[in-house]
Homo-oligomer: A and B are copies of this chain.
Amino acid sequence: MEIQVLHQIMEWNEDVSAQVRDTLKEKKLCMINVMGSPGTGKTSLITALIERLRDTWRIGVIEGDIAGQIDAERIASLGIPAVQLNTDGACHIEAMSIQNILPHFVLDDLDVIFVENIGNLVCPAEFDIGESLRMTILSVPEGDDKVEKYPLMFTETGCLVINKFDMLPYFDFNLERVKANYESVNPDAPMFCISCRNGQGMEAFAGFLSEQIARILE
């Protein structure tokens, strides 16, 4: 009986994500689900991408947080439409929340919506929110063993970003280990080493993402 209930909840989530996808298709929108640990640099990366992509694409942002609106204020200060989603304790975003939030944007005026998921390397990977593309961020200070310890987040993503790469000299972080582990579970999705602080690697990553957006909106 418990399993049946869980099954119903999962199905319900799937159904709504299909509806979200229909809306995205109808409105010619690309939705990017940005995931990673607390403090890995999700907001910083979205900010850095806005800077590089805003002349090409019309961007909106959904900021997921358990509490507070720090991140949405940071995005809105750039003149980008932003909505804060507070999950009030929940550890991930579900498709139903996205469906409720989309009408708060003028969708005809947007090409891309970044969704910053809750800082969590586990649960968000289990939930399809209707996204067009998944992006997982890992930062150098978190260590090089995370692909082995949290496999689903790396298996299910469309690309992996290694952030805070300028901090490499200060941490024991074996990039080859991460690369080998990641390629073994997700051989087709590329990996990028970047620093949101000094901009290193950002041009290449923004270029890749712009190509993906163009492909999705084709």
Please name all residues of chain B whose beta carbon is closer than 8 Å to the beta carbon of A5 when the two chains form the complex.
1-2, 5
Which of B66, B142, B148 interacts with A151 by CB under 8 Å?
B66
Collect the chain B residues with CB atoms within 8 Å of residue A146's CB: 38-39
Are B37 and A122 in contact, CB atoms less than 8 angstroms apart? no
- A49-57, A102-110, A113-121: which lies at the B interface? A113-121
- Nearest CB on B from A36, distance (A): 9
A141-B68 in contact (CB<8A): no
Contact A148 B67 (CB under 8 A): yes
User: Number of A residues whose C-beta is below 8 Å from B?
Assistant: 36
Question: Do A39 and B122 touch (CB < 8 A)?
Answer: no
A133 contacts partner chain B, Cβ-Cβ < 8 Å: no
A215 at the interface (CB under 8 A from B): no
Closest chain-B Cβ to A42's Cβ sits at a distance in Å of 11
How far, in whole Å, are A143 and B196 apart by their CA atoms in the complex? Answer: 14
Q: Give the nearest-CB partner of A68 in chain B.
A: B148
A49 to B151, CA, bound (A): 29
Give the contacts of A1-41 with B (CB-CB under 8 A).
Answer: 1-2, 5, 8-9, 37-39
Interface centre among A68, A118, A150 (most CB of B within 10 A): A150
Residue contact A145 to B9, C-beta cutoff 8 Å: no
A-B contact pairs, 10 of them (CB 8 A): A1-B5, A38-B149, A39-B142, A65-B149, A66-B122, A66-B149, A68-B148, A70-B148, A70-B149, A91-B123
6 closest A-B pairs (Cβ-Cβ)?
A39-B142, A141-B141, A91-B122, A39-B143, A37-B38, A38-B121
